[in-house]
Amino acid sequence: MSILTTAPAPRIAVLALQGGVAEHVAMLESLGAEALVVRSPRSLAAAAADGLVLPGGESSTVDRLLRRFGMREPLIELLDGGLPVLGTCAGLITLAEVIRDPAPGQQSLGLIPMTVRRNAFGRQVDSATETLDSALGPVKAAFIRAPEVVSVRAGVEILARRGTGVDGDGPIVAVGTGQAIALSFHPELTGDTTFHGEFLRRVRAAKLDGVQGR
């Protein structure tokens, strides 16, 4: 019997409390994943997800809604258990350990040891699409009231800077850890699948590890 079997599509929960959900769902599905929209502890549990996407939007609103809908604790529990996660823009802010200029009372999930600054690049009208020279190659990125990663601590890899290559001194706009990828920008709006593809590769690898580790 062949040991090569078709792996089931990875199941990706996309947090849908607020913000740009549909583009992530479309991109994940185009890459062969099953995207499950979650907005309650019940739908999160039912998703039995192999990975999680935190979309963009407004991070203080997302934080308020996470708490109002009882989603904060279940998400922290899943992340503590090692669930792979991809966060874009407000999602990046939500994953940061430290938000330098939070809205009053704003909390984060604190997964990635880094400090971020919200709205670091000016106003909505200053939003821009540009090609970044990322650690994964060129990436077409849309910046919308984007945060900057001000500093990273041990275990966080810089994946892209704005205006320079990863080894330059431009503002950090993409980072990764063994578990997480976090982006200041929105590749799901430009149709660039580089980071979603990398995320799904990691999810598939983690899933395989889990199966083999049983």
Which residues belong to the active site?
A: 89, 186, 188
For 139-174, b where at least 16 C-beta lie within 10 A, e where not — what string? bebbbbbbbbbeebeeebebbbbbeeebeeeebbbb
- Which window, 35-43, 54-62, 75-83, 170-178, contacts ligand GLN (CB under 6 A)? 54-62
Which residue shows structure tokens 């998703």?
47
The whole-angstrom separation of Cα 95 and Cα 108 is: 6
Residue 70 known to bind ligand: no
- Which window, 4-12, 27-35, 51-59, 205-213, contacts ligand GLN (CB under 6 A)? 51-59
Question: Is 22 in a helix, a strand, or coil?
Answer: helix
> Of 66 and 206, which has the nearer Cβ to ligand GLN?
66
Asked if 15 touches ligand GLN (CB under 6 A), the answer is no
Asked if 118 touches ligand GLN (CB under 6 A), the answer is yes
The whole-angstrom separation of Cα 200 and Cα 106 is: 30
Asked if 86 touches ligand GLN (CB under 6 A), the answer is no
Tell me if 86 sits within 8 A of 112, measured CB to CB.
no
> Of 13 and 89, which has the nearer Cβ to ligand GLN?
89
CB-based contacts of 41, cutoff 8 Å, min separation 6 = 69, 70, 71, 74
- Which window, 4-12, 85-93, 155-163, 191-199, contacts ligand GLN (CB under 6 A)? 85-93
Asked if 56 touches ligand GLN (CB under 6 A), the answer is yes
Give the number of residues written for the chain.
214
Known binding site: residues? 57-59, 118, 144-145
Annotated binding site for L-glutamine: 57-59, 118, 144-145
Residues that bind ligand GLN in the complex, under the rule CB under 6 A: 56-59, 89-90, 93, 118-119, 144-145
